[in-house]
Amino acid sequence: ASDPLVVFMPSGKRGRVPAGTSVLSAARRLGVDLDSVCGGRGICSRCQVQPGTGSFPKLGLTVAPDALSKFNAVEQRYDDKRGLKAGRRLGCQACVQGDVVLDVPPESQVHRQVVRKAASGRSIVMDPATRLHFVTVEEPDMDAPSGDLERFRAALAEQWDLTGLGMPLPLLRRLQPVLRAGKWQVTAAINHDAGQVTALWPGLREEAPLGLAIDLGSTTIAAHLCDLGTGEVRASGGVMNPQIRFGEDLMSRVSYSMMNPDGAAEMNAAVRDALNALAVEMAAEAGVATEDVVEAVIVCNPVMHHLLLGVDPVELGQAPFALATSDALRLDAAELGLAALSPGASAYILPCIAGHVGADAAAVALSEAPDQAEAMTLVVDVGTNAEILLGNKERLLACSSPTGPAFEGAQISSGQRAAAGAIERVEIDPETKEPRFRVIGSDLWSDDPAFDAVPTGICGSGIIEAVAEMRLAGILDPSGLIGSAAQVGTERCTAEGRTNAYLLWEGDDRRITVTQNDIRAIQLAKSALYAGARLLMDEAGVDTVDRVILAGAFGAHISPRHAMVLGMIPDADLAHVTSAGNAAGHGARMALCSRASRTHIEGLVRRIEKIETAVAPRFQEHFVAANAIPHATDPFPHLGP
């Protein structure tokens, strides 16, 4: 008789294996994704499968009751002690005896899919660089002296066929106590991308280790603490980037470094401390030990990148904007000073696209995948610096544009961060010129009789809406000038020095106005953004785009219509203008959870064509024309007459 036929579901992978082959070996032979931490010792239960029963006409086979071997002693012991779910078998113990259909449940798969919740962006297929490997290490023997590390390595080679792995020194310092605490049985986290052992636990560790996906922005640092088994986000958090005290924007930090011999080192220390504090805080929130965090993936712009690496960013401040390195980096987290993580933790920094277009833009490309679209797609990541991508399957272009912090509420007279009390939505009646607004933390509009919130300022999305609404209500002319009370016909317009301001709200001790300087700051920011997008459109030879994706920490809060009224983004069908939320952060999470994503982005950045805005003569022309609201010459047919 021929060998038994094994069919694995849901993959449908099938093949014949000699009778007596374990299900785990059959899975490996047929390239089926079946997990194992203990290496087939019958203790981790990650290899569980569910055999089918009866006939499977579509597959043309019938599963006999004895298609798998009976429980052996190891499986029986597991079942007695821990209990197997009804019908489940340990793949490393059960052997194939006849034709069989085996279902691999999601928790036994390494490459399970994590669906993204936000509207756009790709879902993640788990393919983590880090896997757990349980090993039994030989005890030391005076007659055959060898080091603990050498015996540990020999065990990995023999039990897992793994050779040539590095062990960072800080982790080597832990090896001896861990081996003894585990009575010569330990679980090692191995980063297969870095080829390193990254953590050790005595005995069998069953829970998946954790990783940090970090979006290191110039203003804020956001991070997700992720389970490297399921991809689930266990905690999320953010802090202000403490480097702000050395300069609000990137160029002022570069100048700080030029003026102060220890400047780069000071800024490096500041960000390192903030990252460690964030890791500690998030581990506490998730109720896990920081030592269980074995990997960090970091995305950031080039200046942040250099300051994180401790490289003086001076070259990034002047043409030709040479990066110290643009490739993806695989480092020990300890080298970056991330001392709060496992002592052997590894770090992966996404590749930079160019001197002004960093790993954050690469992460946005990974998340939003314009390179896989048919439609001409414009992705703008709005922050202190805007990262802009334009293209589709055929071609992808990128640039960055210095918008400054106005979109984040900075440099605005009543500006504030997006926090409770900030005005985030604004509407102005075109007839009466009376405003109504909403503040963060309240569900009511300000004209609701039950509204009792006290606004404290105006945040980025609020100022964008306010300026767009002022234009729509005729309070602003196309050049951005605020009219006087007489011109506009409302007492809300008041003279402030030689210009006018529009009063949004007045309390007992505070007035929230939009001043002429505020309008100018927003005009500068939006012109920079628009000019960058337009420059890429010139390069791509297109006059319109099919799709616009607004990304960025506050991208999710921007109203697409107001962004277009303001002329932040080129004209497009409003139905095709979407918000992606923190796409850079999502890209970091993809790279954390998936080696395939790392390979993809490393290949893609080589294909992305970089456009340098600072030296492009047309950028200035586009910038000046974009100063008008929405624009001096470009048409906006989708905004209507």
What does the binding site for ligand FES look like in residue numbers (CB under 6 A)? 36-38, 40-47, 90-92
State which residue, 58 or 82, has the beta carbon closest to ligand FES: 82
CA distances from 417 to 239, 457, 520, 551 (A): 12, 9, 19, 17
The nearest distance, CB 175 to ligand FES, in angstroms, is: 23
CB of 88 to ligand FES, least distance (A): 11
**Residue placing its CB nearer to ligand FES in the complex, 105 or 242:** 105
Which three-class secondary structure state does DSSP give residue 502?
A: strand
Q: Could you count the other beta carbons within 10 Å of the beta carbon of residue 45?
A: 24
Closest CB 210 distance from ligand FES, rounded Å? 21
Helix ranges restricted to H, 87-168: 148-160
Rounded distance between C-alpha atoms, residue 230 and residue 111, angstroms: 9
Please give the helix or strand (H or E) that residue 604 lies within, else none: helix 595-607
Cα gap 216→272, rounded to integer Å: 11
Confirm if 426 and 437 have CB atoms less than 8 A apart. Answer: yes
Q: Please, what is the minimum distance in Å from the beta carbon of residue 220 to ligand FES?
A: 42
- Count of CA atoms in the C-beta half-sphere (13 A) of 239: 18
Shorter beta-carbon distance to ligand FES: residue 187 or 290:
187
d(CA 262, CA 312): 10
**40 or 217: CB nearest ligand FES:** 40
Query: Minimum distance between the CB of residue 43 and ligand FES, rounded to whole angstroms?
Result: 6
Residues 623, 528: contact at Cβ < 8 Å?
yes
Quick one: 42 or 195, whose CB is closer to ligand FES? 42
Of the pair 40, 355, the CB lying nearest ligand FES is at 40
Residue with Cβ nearer ligand FES (131 or 562): 131
Note whether 345 and 363 are within 8 A (CB). no
CA distance 367 to 411: 30
Rounded-to-integer distance, Cα 143 and Cα 133, Å: 29
Residue closer to ligand FES by CB (options 93, 196) is 93
In whole angstroms, how close is the CB of 37 to ligand FES at the nearest point?
6
Query: Hey, what are 49's tokens?
Result: 């499968």
Cα–Cα distance list, 394 to 177, 543, 607 (Å) = 55, 17, 10
- Cα angle vertex 475, ends 577, 563, to 5°? 10
47 vs 525, beta carbon nearer ligand FES: 47
Q: What is the largest CA-CA distance in the chain?
A: 100
Nearest distance from C-beta of residue 189 to ligand FES, angstroms: 16
**Least distance to ligand FES, CB of residue 156, Å:** 16
DSSP code of 358?
-
| Distance of closest approach, residue 232 Cβ to ligand FES, in angstroms | 22
